[in-house]
Amino acid sequence: MPAIELLHIDKRFGPVHANRDVSLSVERGTIHGIVGENGAGKSTLMSILYGLYEADAGEIRIDGEAKRIRSPADAIRAGIGMVHQHFMLIEPLTVIENVMLGHEGGALLEAGAAAARAEMARLARDYGLVVDPDAIVGELSVGQHQRIEIVKALLRGAEVLILDEPTGVLTPAEADALFGLLRALKAQGKTVLLITHKLREVMAVTDRVSVMRRGEMVATLDTSATSPPELAELMVGRRVLLRVEKPARAPGAPVLEIANLSVVDARGVRSVDGVSLVVRAGEIVGIAGVAGNGQSELIEALAGMRRLAGGEIRLNGRALSDQDRAPHRLRELGLLHVPEDRLRTGLVASFPAFESAALGFTDDPAFRLGPLLSQPRMIDDLAAKMETYDVRPPAPRLRSASFSGGNQQKIVLAREIERQPKVLLVGQPTRGVDIGAIEFIHRRLIALRDEGVAILLVSVELEEILALSDRVLVMCAGRMTGERRPQAVDERELGLLMAGLGAA
């Protein structure tokens, strides 16, 4: 008997037909992947299974029994847990306080806390899910946040665990640790539904994989009987180039120069320590490193979001003053920024998309009618960008938060890339983006480079760094630990440099 059956599920959001007569069967004790482009309906389908939405039509069966799931509480009672793409944790609270929220175990919290601690100890013993119950959540890494979410689901009795784009914010090492955990859960008879767009991960960890395209289920295959090119073609509806075509090009004059740059973070720790680098016109310089080693702080300092503790930044040969380093002034000078965290610093979740797409550029005469901002002009501008970047749904008035993570990323990229930058700072350009959109974004970055734009790229995806970069710099503990040509280095050597163990 399948653990989960979804039969003829249909769901609309106004004019958007998110799920079209979708059926899915998931065997117990397996890891089942669900892949598709951003906006294909994957997250909507899983949100229906978890009770966040109710289907307009169709049936859900758990262990062969028809269930009406109208809320997450119904799903939890049916043994279904979900780890969302954006974690649902309260950062000032401790781990145990987050784990107990909504599951306190009675009016006397001490008894509930003791039971939760005992169960957390068992999960650590059985699955290697080790998390300090008394740690403050806001002080933990993203990978640990995800472990807390999984602990929460298992403490509530989940036999079926849904993970929505679980590796979008993880380092490669954290992703490998997650896959080890998923295999351990499978060995104990748990069922895992893995929503992802990363085909390498699908091939590595799943038993079966279902493909969605434009709201429909187009295929379900044994993972061992398929391949990344086949899955990519099923997802996109056409052949997809899984490698980056990058013609050789001689870079021009230095555009961005950094000398002995230092940044001190909020804890007083020197997160960037005496970094120097040069990015030339028509060149992509990639920065590789394990998350938390200063790459984010470096990019934010260059974008005017952090104060410098020392050093100098030169743009087109001009030393930037403190006044020049204001973000609006940097944009005027041609330095634009695609931030790593699209929700916190790239968009305003509650704004309609057309307002988020104009952030930083509201003084543009193209957006104004006399002294006032013109909503119709902003809407028309984003509508054109949505068509170029294949943003789904193509609805400029929709709230920014209502788009999938990958489509939010496309909106941010379109806003910055289409402004003809002289220097482009790019943080995690394809985080949470599907295979077809990755191909488009990579082509667009290469085209910018060929047009003479100087690009500084930060990505935790070493494959992406090696594919796009003309030169690769490696950061560890706030310092540059090496420079390599991508054609003369492999991921193993980069990994040693990232750990501070390789030769500069």
Query: What are the phi and psi torsion angles at 302 (to 5°)?
Result: -65, -30
Q: Residue 307's pLDDT is what?
A: 94
CA dist 294 and 410 (Å) reads 25
Residue 168 pLDDT > 70: no
pLDDT, tens digit, 9 for 90 and up, residues 470-480 = 999 999 989 99
Question: Which of 266 and 155 is assigned the larger pLDDT?
Answer: 155
Confidence grade of residue 17 (pLDDT, cut at 50, 70, 90): very high
pLDDT at position 107: 66
Higher pLDDT, 29 or 265: 29
- The pLDDT score that the predictor gives to residue 503 is 64
* Whole-number pLDDT of residue 247: 87
pLDDT of residue 241: 67
The mean pLDDT value for 429-447 works out to: 86
Task: State the pLDDT at residue 108.
Answer: 67
pLDDT score of 384: 97
Give the list of residues 6+ apart from residue 428 with CB closer than 8 angstroms, or none. 340, 458, 459, 460
Return d(Cα 492, Cα 481) in angstroms, integer.
Answer: 15
Instruction: Provide the whole-model pTM.
Output: 0.74
pLDDT at 223 over 70: yes
**Residues 137-144: what's their mean pLDDT?**
82
Q: Does domain 4-236 have CATH number 3.40.50.300?
A: yes
User: How confident is residue 176, by pLDDT bands cut at 50, 70 and 90?
Assistant: confident
CA–CA separation, 149 vs 142, rounded Å? 11
CATH fold for domain 254-498? Rossmann fold (3.40.50)
What is the pLDDT averaged over residues 410-433?
A: 92
Higher pLDDT, 175 or 403: 403
Torsion of CA 41, 45, 50, 51, to 10 degrees: 90
| Closest-CA residue to 123 (of 27, 188, 73) | 188
Mean pLDDT of 246-271: 92
Give the chain's mean pLDDT: 91
Render pLDDT for 310-363 as a digit per residue (tens, 0 to 9): 999 999 999 999 999 999 999 999 999 999 888 889 999 999 999 999 999 999
Residue type, 442: H
Task: Specify the pLDDT at position 171.
Answer: 64
Distances (CA, A) of 315 to 169, 256, 318: 31, 5, 5
- Report, as an integer, the average pLDDT of 243-260: 92
What is the average per-residue pLDDT within 388-416? 91
Residues 53-112 have pLDDT tens digits of 999 999 999 999 999 999 999 999 999 999 887 778 898 999 999 999 877 776 668 888
453's CB contacts (< 8 A; 6+ apart) are: 281, 282, 421, 422, 423, 424
Tell me where in the chain the CATH 3.40.50.300 domain(s) lie: 4-236, 254-498
Model confidence at 15, in pLDDT bands (50, 70, 90)?
confident
Phi, psi of 326 (to 5 degrees): -65, 135
pLDDT of 504 higher than 70: no
Burial (CB count <10 Å: 0-12, 13-18, 19+), residue 319: exposed
Nearest to 83 by CA among 128, 130, 50: 50
What is the DSSP annotation of 342-403?
IIIII--TTSBHHHHTTTT-TT-GGGEETTEE-HHHHHHHHHHHHHHHT-SS--TTSBGGGS
* Banded pLDDT at 266 (limits 50, 70, 90): confident
CA distance 378 to 235: 31
